[in-house]
């Protein structure tokens, strides 16, 4: 058969540890140990080994190494609300920020981070990882169990709302932060306060509902809840809010979860002849450029994704290293950014 068999790419034949051993006149295990340093090697032979390796362009096959050692030096990341990444580019700000923070934290520590493809796809190929972070899991998220059943150490970044007490979990302290948001509204007893949470059943949306209910009860405010789904386009969101304002009348304050929909919400208010903050106080439960750049700028809760990422990565490395679960819950604090939309 010729050098040139039809269309088959000519992967350069891999240089193996044996080739290096032969070239250096030593045994394969000596080469291995020269690299790993797991047993003493005389300086002279080490030099010879490295020289041979250099000359041949050797580098260890990560597949083979991982197979033997059982670990890959990488951790996985599964970022729930997948749709967060499927909208318009500008709507991916939250996804990007959390994913980017995770990557940054891993790179700092010299480990690889792999974005795990959706295992439910037919063409799915399992990915090698020493452990996995599941960010913003759904209630009873089957992904947690799937990975656990494969023996992969899992850490949740934000709790599974149906299993808040899973030991290996880091989360954002939503309750405190969200109470501060409602406090910032500065509305009086008897006022109607709308909450417009997202439709996904995760810790964040659940916290919004419960804090809203409690807070209104405590202050004698009148709670109303209207879902504003993550799946909505800007036009749909505007229409949705416009319809509600028409049907229900204007609230004294409106808190919506998704700041990527802040623009449409404000347009609907404006179209109904309502001024922010004079007629309606407005706040949102994620901070983003949308909240900052709105007119007027909108009070928002910065979820501190960087802090969550750092905590989750630390926790996972701990778990992989065989540590015991932390005694108490690990909580990072979000930060309230008060802006004009709540300042009369």
Q: Which two tokens stand for residue 218?
A: 């405590």
Beta carbons within 10 angstroms of residue 250's beta carbon: 17
| Radius of gyration (C-alpha) of the chain in whole angstroms | 27
Q: How far apart are CA 168 and CA 185, in angstroms?
A: 35
Q: Which ranges in 26-122 belong to alpha helices (H)? A: 28-36, 43-56, 62-69, 93-109
Partner that binds at residue 73, options DNA, its own copies, none, CB closer than 5 to 8 Å by kind: its own copies
Shortest Å, Cβ 78 to its own copies: 10
Partner that binds at residue 44, options its own copies, DNA, none, CB closer than 5 to 8 Å by kind: DNA
Is there binding between residue 193 and its own copies (CB under 8 A)? Answer: no
**Residue 177 backbone dihedrals phi, psi, to 5 degrees:** -60, -45
CB 181 within 8 A of CB 213: no
- Window 132 to 161, contacts with DNA (CB under 7 A): none
Which one among 47, 54, 61, 145 touches DNA, defined by CB under 7 A?
61
Shortest Å, Cβ 100 to DNA: 31
Is there binding between residue 116 and its own copies (CB under 8 A)? Answer: yes
Q: How far apart are CA 264 and CA 190, in angstroms?
A: 27
Which one among 22, 50, 56, 60 touches DNA, defined by CB under 7 A?
60
* Backbone angle region of 245, left / alpha / beta, with phi > 0 → left and psi within -120 to 50 → alpha: alpha
Q: How far apart are CA 169 and CA 317, in angstroms?
A: 13
Is there binding between residue 337 and its own copies (CB under 8 A)? Answer: no
Coil, strand or helix at 301: strand
Is there binding between residue 33 and DNA (CB under 7 A)? Answer: yes
CB 263 within 8 A of CB 292: no
Shortest Å, Cβ 306 to its own copies: 4
User: Could you tell me how many residues of this chain bind its own copies (CB under 8 A)?
Assistant: 61
Give the neighbor-by-neighbor strand order of the sheet with 299-302: 222-225, 192-196, 253-256, 281-284, 299-302, 335-337
Partner that binds at residue 35, options its own copies, DNA, none, CB closer than 5 to 8 Å by kind: DNA
Is there binding between residue 106 and its own copies (CB under 8 A)? Answer: yes
Partner that binds at residue 28, options DNA, its own copies, none, CB closer than 5 to 8 Å by kind: DNA
Partner that binds at residue 17, options DNA, its own copies, none, CB closer than 5 to 8 Å by kind: DNA
Is there binding between residue 38 and DNA (CB under 7 A)? Answer: yes
Is there binding between residue 47 and DNA (CB under 7 A)? Answer: no
Q: CA triplet 305, 311, 316: central angle to 5 degrees? A: 125
Comparison of 63 and 109: residue with beta carbon closer to DNA: 63
Is there binding between residue 28 and DNA (CB under 7 A)? Answer: yes
Q: Which two tokens stand for residue 305?
A: 């994704």
CB 251 within 8 A of CB 192: yes
* Centroid of chain to Cα 135: 5
- Window 5 to 34, contacts with its own copies (CB under 8 A): 7, 9, 11-12, 14
| Binding region for its own copies (CB under 8 A) | 7, 9, 11-12, 14, 57, 59-67, 70, 72-74, 82, 85-86, 89, 92, 95-97, 99-101, 103-104, 106-108, 110-118, 121, 123-128, 149-151, 288-289, 292-293, 297, 306, 322
Task: Give the footprint of DNA on this chain (CB under 7 A).
Answer: 14, 16-18, 25-33, 35-36, 38-42, 44-46, 58, 60-61, 64-65, 67-69
């Amino acid at each position: 058969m010729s050098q040139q068999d039809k269309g088959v790419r000519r992967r350069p034949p891999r240089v193996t540890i044996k080739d290096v051993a032969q070239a250096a006149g030593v045994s394969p295990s000596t080469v291995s140990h020269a690299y790993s340093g797991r047993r003493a090697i005389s300086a002279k032979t080490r030099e010879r080994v490295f020289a041979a390796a250099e000359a041949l362009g050797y580098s260890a096959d990560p597949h083979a190494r991982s197979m033997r050692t059982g670990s890959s030096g990488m951790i996985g990341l599964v970022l729930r609300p997948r749709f967060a990444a499927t909208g318009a580019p500008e709507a991916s700000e939250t996804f990007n920020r959390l994913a980017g923070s995770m990557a940054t934290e891993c790179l700092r520590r010299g480990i690889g981070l792999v974005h795990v493809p959706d295992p439910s796809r037919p063409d799915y190929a399992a990915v090698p990882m020493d452990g996995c972070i599941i960010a913003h899991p759904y209630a009873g998220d089957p992904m947690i169990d799937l990975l656990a059943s494969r023996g992969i150490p899992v850490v949740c970044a934000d709790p599974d709302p149906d299993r808040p007490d899973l030991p290996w979990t880091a989360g954002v302290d939503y309750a405190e932060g969200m109470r501060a948001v409602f406090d910032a509204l500065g509305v009086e007893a008897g006022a109607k306060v709308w909450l417009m949470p997202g439709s996904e059943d995760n810790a964040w949306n659940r916290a919004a509902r419960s804090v809203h209910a409690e807070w209104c009860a405590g202050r004698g405010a009148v709670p109303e809840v209207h879902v504003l789904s993550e799946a909505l386009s800007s036009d749909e969101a505007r229409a949705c809010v416009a319809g509600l304002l028409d049907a229900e009348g204007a609230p004294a304050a409106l808190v919506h979860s998704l700041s990527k929909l802040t623009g449409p919400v404000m347009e609907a208010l404006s179209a109904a002849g309502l001024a922010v903050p004079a007629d309606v106080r407005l706040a949102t439960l994620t901070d983003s450029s949308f909240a900052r750049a709105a007119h007027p700028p909108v009070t928002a809760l910065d979820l501190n994704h960087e802090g969550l990422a750092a905590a989750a990565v630390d926790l996972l490395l701990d778990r992989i290293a065989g540590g015991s679960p932390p005694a108490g819950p690990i909580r990072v604090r979000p930060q309230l950014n008060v802006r004009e939309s709540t300042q009369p």
